[in-house]
Amino acid sequence: MKIEDFQPEFAALPGAAPVWHGALDPGRLRPLCQDVRSAGGRLVALWGSQGGGPSFALHVAVAVQQGLAVASLPLEREAPAFPDISDIFPAAGRMQRAVADLLGFQAAHAADRRPWLRHGHWPADRFPLSKEFDGTRAFPPEGDTYPFVAVEGEGVHEIPVGPVHAGTIEPGHFRFSVVGEKVLRLEQRLGYTHKGIEKLFEAMTVEQGARLAGRISGDSTVAYAWAYAMAAEGVSGSTPPPRALWLRALFLERERIMNHLGDLGALGNDAGLAFALAQFSRLKEDVLRTNQALFGHRYLMDAIVPGGVAHDVDFRGFSRIIEEITELEREVPRLKRIFEDHAGLQDRFLTTGRVKPDLAARLGLAGLAGRASGQSWDLRAQFPCAPYDGLEVRMATHRGGDVAARVTVRFEELTESMRLCRILLRKMPEGETSTPLNPMQPAGLGIGWVEGWRGEVLLALHTGEDGALRRVHPHDPSWHNWPVLEHAVIGNIVPDFPLINKSFNLSYSGHDL
């Protein structure tokens, strides 16, 4: 499906990402989504907003042949409702429930209208993202009797896990329906630590918002910071210097490297190979220490700012990164061979937690996990912004869809990121690393769309009539992938769930804003 197939009112938004935006009558939402789905497109994000007055709007972003199309649907003030699209795009189900909790917009005739984020923390008739809501006020907790789906039958019993877990992970509830050790059904419940991030943006300047964006999900700070900067630069009509864009790409690939190293170690450990955790943790720690030494933060927080970057790299820094990449190029293939030759590891990885390509396509599996199930989506290769438009990124895809495939994609993406880092360092242009941001346009919309290590991160930035931040919606790929994890575990045994879960490694924090 092409942009020309949309209404004539859809026009390109300024900025680095290929994005078109237009108004859409609510009655045309389902036909549009059906057309996008039939043409091989997919849902990227769904969010709501309230204007400076009583105006309400729902926004739906879909990926099409030429890029991203964002449709804005005006909604009635008294009964803001919109057509349910969860039967077309299953990932929309939880997004629609979140919009209902936060703004009161209801998906008409939706099969599942249970609360998703509220957890009894605010009254059912109050909506945190409405302009009338006082974000500083605390409400007494209400009773929270969430109606989990019951599975009945001879020998079936439930195993509730969480929401509080051992270790440092964030809370999430997993309810297994099992016969013996075999999983018949998994139902998740997330949203236990709703932080009010989207509400916080409303009271911030553009500069303050940049710092908050980088703290949405700590393991993806570069992806979120770049998406925010891209959106702000689009609304303000600003263009970062070329060197800044190359440095951003260097930071993004380093973020991908350190997360893949960490995940591979954890996956080996979860399958009984503690040696893998020790070795990959050592390699990841070296990358983190280099980040601290050269860019002031182990996880590159605040390295990207609207208008450019906050840190440059000199010849000595270049040399240190090259030495580090050379070491990784020597160590990672050796560890990959150990993984491949370890019979016990392969026994745990192969066929475990499999998501077949047809199911992945139907459910909208995204990012790294999607590419391991035959879903060929990578913004760096398909819709590359500078400098990726000159790097010819090699996308890693497999069709196995199991833990083994997700491990293989990580290894291959590690290799590709190291290759890209060498090119970025070798060809990086000279010049400035930042430029002052132009004034933000009033009543504007900016979209940032960046391929993070977990998958594509989208950030929508709406400004008010005064050019200030009115609504900022960050969207994590985990929204798409958490529901698929429920399917991936079916038919597996309960002890394999930690391994399957780690092979996806989804974000609680980026999902629960």
Give the DSSP letter of residue 493.
Answer: B
Residues 272-282: pLDDT tens digits?
999 999 999 99
CA distance 404 to 362: 21
Same domain for 187 and 252, yes or no, is no
Q: Is 454 contained in some domain?
A: no
Q: CA gyration radius for the chain?
A: 22
**Residue 64 predicted with pLDDT over 80:** yes
H or E element at residue 42: strand 42-50
**Residue 450: pLDDT band with limits 50, 70, 90:** very high
Contact between residue 495 and residue 503 where contact means Cβ atoms under 8 Å apart: no
CA distance 175 to 324: 43
Same domain for 154 and 259, yes or no, is no
Single-letter code of the amino acid located at 488: A
Smallest Cα–Cα separation from 94: which of 191, 195, 170? 191
Q: What is the CATH number of the domain that holds 336?
A: 1.10.645.10
Q: Is 64 contained in some domain?
A: yes
Same domain for 270 and 179, yes or no, is no
* pLDDT at position 52: 61
Give the DSSP letter of residue 164.
Answer: S
Q: Summarize the confidence of residues 503-513 as an average pLDDT.
A: 89
Same domain for 273 and 394, yes or no, is yes
Q: Is 214 contained in some domain?
A: no
Q: What is the CATH number of the domain that holds 42?
A: 3.30.460.80
Give the DSSP letter of residue 99.
Answer: H
342: left (phi over 0), alpha (psi -120 to 50) or beta: beta
Which of 108, 138, 162 lies at the terminal end of a domain, its last residue? 108
Full domain range(s) for residue 271:
242-278+314-431
CA distance 80 to 102: 12
**Residue 176: pLDDT band with limits 50, 70, 90:** very high
E strands of 203-343, at which residues? 304-305, 308-309
* pLDDT at position 184: 96
SS3 assignment for 462-485: EECCCCCEEEEEEECCHHHHHHHH
Same domain for 382 and 266, yes or no, is yes
Cis upstream peptide for 163 (omega within 30°):
yes
Which of 108, 138, 168 lies at the terminal end of a domain, its last residue? 108
Contact between residue 194 and residue 513 where contact means Cβ atoms under 8 Å apart: yes
The strand pair at 308-309 and 445-451 is best described as: unpaired
Return all residues near 209 (Cβ < 8 A) that are at least 6 apart. Answer: 201, 228, 232, 461, 469, 472
Q: Nearest 5°: phi and psi at 42? A: -155, 160
Residues 119-167: pLDDT tens digits?
988 899 999 999 889 878 888 888 788 999 988 888 999 999 988 887 7
Q: Is the pTM of this model over 0.85?
A: yes
Smallest Cα–Cα separation from 56: which of 98, 105, 126? 105
Same domain for 55 and 158, yes or no, is no
* pLDDT at position 273: 96
Give the DSSP letter of residue 434.
Answer: B
CA distance 44 to 243: 29
Same domain for 407 and 502, yes or no, is no
H or E element at residue 197: helix 197-201
Single-letter code of the amino acid located at 150: A
Token output for 171: 């809370």
Q: Which residues pair with 188 in a beta bridge?
A: 174
CA distance 352 to 270: 13
Domain count for the chain: 3
Residues 408-430: pLDDT tens digits?
999 999 999 999 999 999 999 99
Smallest Cα–Cα separation from 460: which of 450, 470, 469, 473? 473
**Residue 466 predicted with pLDDT over 90:** yes
* pLDDT at position 458: 98
Q: Is 450 contained in some domain?
A: no
Smallest Cα–Cα separation from 270: which of 486, 496, 488? 496
Residues 344-388: pLDDT tens digits?
999 999 999 999 999 999 999 999 999 999 999 999 999 999 999
